[in-house]
Every structure is written in C-alpha cells, then in structure tokens.
Amino acid sequence: MMQRRDFLRLLGVGGGAVFASGLAGRALAEVGSNKKAGAYDDFYFVQLSDTHWGYKGPANPDAANTLKNAVAAVNALKTQPDFIVFTGDLTHTTDDAQERRRRLAEFRDIVSGLKVKNVRFMPGEHDASLDNGAAYRELFGETHYAFDHKGVHFIVLDNVSDPGARIGDAQLEWMKADLSRQKKNAPIVVLTHRPLFDLAPQWDWATRDGAKAIEILMPYANVTVFYGHIHQEHHHRTEHIAHHSAKSLVFPLPAPGSQEKRAPLPWDPAAPNKGLGFREVEAEVEELRYRITELPVSAG
C-alpha cells in the first residue's frame, strides 16, 4: 500500500511537468470518517476526461499530441495509481460510423501505453449519442457497470447513450438493485460523464433524469460523484453527496452559464496546456480524531 508520505511527495512532482494545473484541483474522495463504515485501505486512482481524440480545430492545434502527453504524464507518476478512469468523450464526435470506430480504436491503442493496466472507461455523448453507444460497446464493452476496489463500491452510469441525456428507467432500476446490496454507510463512488444535477441546463450541462439517480443515492451516507463533460474543475453538493467535475484533455470551457455561448476558451500558444489536466483522487482512511473546544467559565 502506498505510504502517505510517498503520496505527498507525488503531489510535489506528479504530472506537473506536463500539466502544471493538473494537480491543483486534487479532490479527496470523501469516503467517510469512520473505519467501521467499511474495511477499506488507502489508495488512489487517476481520473482523465474529455480527451476528444480526433478533434481538429483552433481550440487546440496540438490535439494530436495532448492525449499522448497525458499518457506520458501518468506513466511518469512516481507512485502509480491503483487504477485509471476515463470519464467519457474519449473521442470527438463524427457522423461517419466508420470514422467513429477508427477514432475509438486509435484512442484505445494510445491509452494501451499506460503502465497501469486496470483502466476503466465510459462513453461521453461525443462517443455514443449518435448511435446509442453501438460503436462504443463494440470496442469497450458495457456502458454501465459496477466494480469494487479495496472496499469502495464504484458505479459507472451511462447518461449519454440516449442523445436526450437520460439515464433511463432500466438503468436506474439496475442501480437501485446494485445499491440494495450495499450498507447505507458503505463508501460509494459514482463515475459518469454529465453532471447528475442541473449545473447549467441552458448549456445542456445536466442529465434529464439525474434527479432520479440522486434520489436513489440519497439514502447512502458516503457517496461521491466524479464526472466530466464541462471541461473544468467544479465542485458541488446535493445535500451530503459531493460532485466533482474534471478538467478536459483537449480544451477548456467557460465557467457554467458565464456567457451566452459555451464556446471553448481561446488557445494560448504561450501556454498550450493551460486549463487542461487530469486528477488524482485519493481514498484516505481518516483516523479517529478528537475536536477540543475550550470554554470559559461563564459569568453568573
């Protein structure tokens, strides 16, 4: 198991050589503060998102190299993560079904260069919405699934194979049944592409039936959601459920709802990776703590 001091050292070096901003927004998976909640160990995983392989445009003239640079940056981490997750928009959309498959296959070939072989994928709307996930499933398998890692239960939700951004009742029922096997205080992480809450529906930054998913998750005390789609770091809570979006690996987008158009931020040739990055997520077992509050002798 990785030692805490090693992890801190990692923070000081990490992927900063390529993506200096990539480590600034490291999010801690809030998996609870009581070991009794579940027998889990410290570990960390890496989240990469919105690589948009196949994109060609002024928002990133270097797009043909950015994904490869990200793979190199992850491989350069001194302590390798337990696993790596890509939260959708692996490829940039195309109307051409053959080209879609070619881009997905190229993406798969590039990320096969990651040292860590435990890699989890899910589609974004660019990968899956135009064919309801058909090409994605051919190359990567199911678009929603669950897995466990060191006592943490992970649920991958597909909110993109429906072009209307619905998870759908069948998948919601599946999630409900999956969760029914978990204790109410179990550490649960949801990985998905779009925000489950209405972050900026006027920019289509939402999941149409995301509220139903949140309602199903609500009885569980330790739930954290990691997602992509919005090409920037963002942190939000729906009651006790934390939602953390990740930066993109192609181009950054403006702050939610900050302007009329959700156009990419202009590319800066002096800082070509500005606003891009990836994230380390550490699941940390917190030790028992005592909070001490000193009180004066009240008068009278």
Partner 1 sequence: MKTLWWTVLGVGLSGICLGAALGVGKDAANEQVIQVTAQRFTFTPNEIVVKKGRPVVLEFSSLDFVHGFNIPSLKLRADLPPGQITRVRFTPDRVGEHPFVCDNFCGEGHEDMHGRIVVKE
- Is residue 89 a contact partner of residue 127, using CB atoms and an 8 Å limit? yes
Per-position x/- string for 70-99, each x denoting binding to partner 1 as judged by CB under 8 A, each - no binding:
----------------------xxxx----
Interaction between residue 266 and partner 1 (CB under 8 A): no
Rounded-to-integer distance, Cα 227 and Cα 21, Å = 18
Among 239, 260, 287, 294, binds partner 1 (CB under 8 A): 260
Between 130 and 216, CB nearer to partner 1: 130
Q: Which letter does DSSP use for residue 143 in this model?
A: S
- Is residue 45 a contact partner of residue 84, using CB atoms and an 8 Å limit? yes
Count CB neighbours of 215 within 10 A. 13
Interaction between residue 211 and partner 1 (CB under 8 A): no
Between 61 and 163, CB nearer to partner 1: 163
Interaction between residue 11 and partner 1 (CB under 8 A): no
Interaction between residue 202 and partner 1 (CB under 8 A): yes
Output the smallest distance, CB 273 to partner 1, in A.
22
Q: What is the DSSP string of 171-190?
A: HHHHHHHHHTTS-TTSEEEE
Interaction between residue 165 and partner 1 (CB under 8 A): yes
Rounded-to-integer distance, Cα 225 and Cα 117, Å = 23
Interaction between residue 198 and partner 1 (CB under 8 A): yes
- Is residue 97 a contact partner of residue 105, using CB atoms and an 8 Å limit? no
What is the residue whose two structure tokens read 């029914």? 180
Between 162 and 280, CB nearer to partner 1: 162
Output the smallest distance, CB 99 to partner 1, in A.
11
Rounded-to-integer distance, Cα 130 and Cα 160, Å = 10
Which residues bind to partner 1, rule: CB under 8 A?
A: 92-95, 125, 129-130, 160, 163-165, 198, 201-204, 206, 208, 260-263
